[in-house]
Amino acid sequence: MSPLKDRITEDMKAAMRAKDSERLGTIRLLLAACKQREVDERIVLDDAAVVALVDKLVKQRKDSITAFQQGGREDLVAKESAELAVLETYLPQRLGAEEVAAEIARLVAEVGAELGRAVGPADMGKLMGAAKARLAGKAEMGQVSAAVKSALSKQAP
């Protein structure tokens, strides 16, 4: 079992002992999602896969919060926000905007060297693939996409 899954399991036991039903429910939801993916794909999740799964659940919660706020359902906003807070504790420290931009600049240079030419807007997919592999769990992909578009616009002649 991965160290992150061990930590999540220990947190579940601690929440059970503390009778913290809200935290326990969210942790059980996360462990169920991990188990479901392991069973569906017949794999054992490593830390990177668990972080990707947590990232997906965090994005779902953020989308739900936005929808519930528009619908005026403050009770559901509070519930989703509480789940979001628990899930975010399992994500690694996020990179800031300038750190993401610096990482993307390095990727642009690497991909340009690999292609043997200047990188242009047509290489967006190649850059996003490399960025997703390198920054998964460390940065929000929306932020990464914006940084890649910005870097490509600076590269254009």
Q: What is the CATH number of the domain that holds 83?
A: 1.10.1510.10
pLDDT at 156 over 60: no
* Whether residue 78 is found in the same domain as residue 107: no
pLDDT confidence tier of residue 6, bands split at 50, 70 and 90:
very high
pLDDT confidence tier of residue 19, bands split at 50, 70 and 90:
very high
Task: Give me the percent of the chain exceeding a pLDDT of 90.
Answer: 49
What range defines the domain where residue 111 resides? Answer: 97-155
Question: For position 145, what pLDDT does the model report?
Answer: 86
- Give the span between the Cα atoms of 12 and 89, in whole angstroms: 13
* Whether residue 103 is found in the same domain as residue 78: no
- Give the span between the Cα atoms of 91 and 89, in whole angstroms: 6
Domain count, the chain: 2
Q: Which of 90, 93, 73 is nearest to 23 (CA)?
A: 90
Question: For position 25, what pLDDT does the model report?
Answer: 95
- Which of 69, 88, 107 is a domain's end point? 88
Question: For position 78, what pLDDT does the model report?
Answer: 94
* Whether residue 80 is found in the same domain as residue 101: no
* Whether residue 60 is found in the same domain as residue 19: yes
Instruction: Pick left, alpha or beta for residue 19 (phi over 0 → left; psi -120 to 50 → alpha; otherwise beta).
Output: left
Contact 30, 90 (CB under 8 A): yes
